Amino acid sequence: MKNMQIYIICAFVSLMFPLEANAAPSLEKAQAFINKLGEDTIRMIKDGALSSKAKEQKLDDLFMTTVNTAWMSKFVLGRYYRSMNEEQRRDFATTYGSFLRVTYVPNFRRYTGEAFHVIGGKSLSNNEFVISTKITSQEDGASYQVDYRLRCDGEERFRIYDIIAEGISLITTQRSEFASVISNNGVDYLIERLKSKIDKASSTS
Amino acid sequence: MKRGKGHLQLLSALCLVCAMLIALPAYADHDLSGLNEDIGDDIYQYADVKDPYEKLNRGIFAFNMVVDKFILKPIAVAYSVVIPKWGRDRVDSVLKNLTSPVLFVNFVLQGEGDEALDTAFRFMINSSLGLGGFMDIAQEAGLKGKSTDFSETLSGYCVDAGVYHVLPILGPSTTRDTFGRMVDGVMDPWNYVLHTQANLVRQGFGVVHTRARLLPLTEELEDLSFDLYATYRSTYIQSRGTLRYPGIKQCSKKRMPK
């Protein structure tokens, strides 16, 4: 009888910590990562104690560590990536990363208390995941789904590489758009256009 | 651009995404380690929606942009200024209620019995208690409306999307979507029951209402895009490619844009 009790307790304990023994990146960890990222971001935006400048700096750091802009720059170039030399690739990666960061600031400042919830997710491979979230407007209750694709590297670090809003993927759209620009005017022209958008966004922000 | 739900969602999401894609020191140091990772050409399966008439399409697109700038957009702006959000929601509700018969037939053809029944109940409740669709009572009672069309029905039967094209005034489409739109028009009982003028008013409201809803987004897209034609093409095809049909055998090809 005593043994039975121990078994039951062991069973309960193992149910409570089913993942602790598993060191590999898990879906639960990926979901927790996105959940924390969303919560941290919203908390930072709402933080009245931080100056606007300090807020920007903090969010910038968060962006740098959580979004894999270098890989995204490679993906959005598609087949044109292969024909570029190392210097062009690095130049494009840096410019594209800056572009992503500066162009969306004005949107971000329009945050009006939308609620953010992780609603599910699935493993795409042993280190790739797609996590679904639901964004609900506080004003009219309208909601939409945003999925994040993320990858876990060898150092157990998750980084986002695509954002899919209601089935529309950011990097897929940009790949298509950039292919059109490059085939008509070349890569250097695209980089120039990105830089001019960055300068414009920086000067108005 | 009548069918622009995808753009709307993308832009709305981008607002939120900014929560993660924040700005600032414009050219700060970047972590370029991602360049060593595999390019991942296979992370999405791209459907074969070609654009063989791109030159013609770009011409029609340019025409649409002019019509939009001088006619459609000013009307949509006036509409959203004059009619408050509550009023626009009522327009939305009435228009949606009127699409119920077409939705019902399509859900039946897709083998989606539950969706078909929900649509029928919604139509009955909203047309009576909801005062002709004026109020979406059914939604408040937990019966949420879903949308579909004949093109989706065909997609469920593994009919390919065909080629991409841009319709004058109506905007982005594919062969299957244009055909589906025509079949939906033929199936729509209101086209036979209502007077021609009433139907024109209905269609007109539909276009203006949708355009008004898209106002904040099209402006941002125009600002952010490097090639608006390509952006609309990609988002349109993606927004039409995420449909799922649990009741019908899945087609092996997943539809994603080029």
- pLDDT single digits (tens) B169-198: 889 999 999 999 999 999 999 989 888 899
**Residue B224 scores a pLDDT above 90:** no
Identity of the amino acid at B220: E
DSSP conformational letter for A127:
S
Mapping DSSP to helix (H, G, I), strand (E, B) and coil, where does residue B54 land?
helix
What pLDDT sits at residue B21?
Answer: 40
- HSE on the CB side for B41, CA within 13 Å? 7
Where does residue A88 fall: left (phi above 0), alpha (psi -120 to 50 degrees), or beta otherwise? alpha
- HSE on the CB side for B135, CA within 13 Å? 8
Helices (H), chain A: 2-16, 27-46, 52-66, 69-77, 86-103, 105-108, 170-185, 187-204
What pLDDT sits at residue B97?
Answer: 92
How far from B142 is each of A24, B89, B106, B122, B250, CA to CA, in Å?
41, 18, 22, 10, 28
Distance of CA B225 to the CA centre of its chain: 19
Distance from CA of A20 to the nearest CA of B (A): 29
**Residue B54 scores a pLDDT above 90:** yes
B9·A144 Cβ contact <8 A = yes
Work out the percent of chain B whose per-residue pLDDT is above 70. Answer: 79
| CA nearest neighbour of A66 among A40, A102, A104 | A40
**Beta partners for residue A133, in sequence order:** A118, A146
**Strand locations in B9-154, DSSP E?**
none
DSSP conformational letter for A133:
E
Name the strand (E) or helix (H) holding B37: none
A178·B26 Cβ contact <8 A = no
Work out the percent of chain B whose per-residue pLDDT is above 90. Answer: 46
Name residues 74-113 of chain A within 8 A of B (Cβ). 74-75, 78, 81, 89-90, 93-94, 97-98, 100-105, 107-108, 110-111
Collect all residues with Cβ–Cβ distance below 8 Å to A95 and sequence separation of at least 6.
A191, A194, A195, A198
Name residues 180-199 of chain B within 8 A of A (Cβ). none
Q: With the CA atoms of B61, B65, B93 and A169 taken in that order, what torsion angle do they form, in degrees rounded to the nearest 10?
A: 60
Give the pTM: 0.79
| CA nearest neighbour of B59 among B166, B162, B164, B163 | B166
pLDDT tens digits for range B30-53: 777 778 777 666 667 655 678 999
Average pLDDT over residues B94-116: 93
**Strand locations in A125-182, DSSP E?**
128-136, 143-152, 158-165, 168-169
**What would the two tokens of residue B201 be?**
């008013």
Contact B4, B218 (CB under 8 A): yes
- Residue A164 backbone phi and psi in degrees, to 5: -120, 110
Distance from CA of A12 to the nearest CA of B (A): 37
Residue with tokens 């939009």: B68
What pLDDT sits at residue B24?
Answer: 36
pLDDT averaged per 10 residues, chain A (length 205): 60 52 73 91 83 79 86 92 90 91 67 86 87 86 87 85 87 91 92 90 70
Name the strand (E) or helix (H) holding A122: strand A115-123
Name residues 38-77 of chain A within 8 A of B (Cβ). 38, 41-42, 45, 56-57, 59-60, 62-75
pLDDT tens digits for range B127-175: 998 888 888 888 888 888 888 999 999 988 888 888 999 999 889 999 9
Name the strand (E) or helix (H) holding B22: none
Q: Does B23 touch chain A (CB under 8 A)?
A: yes
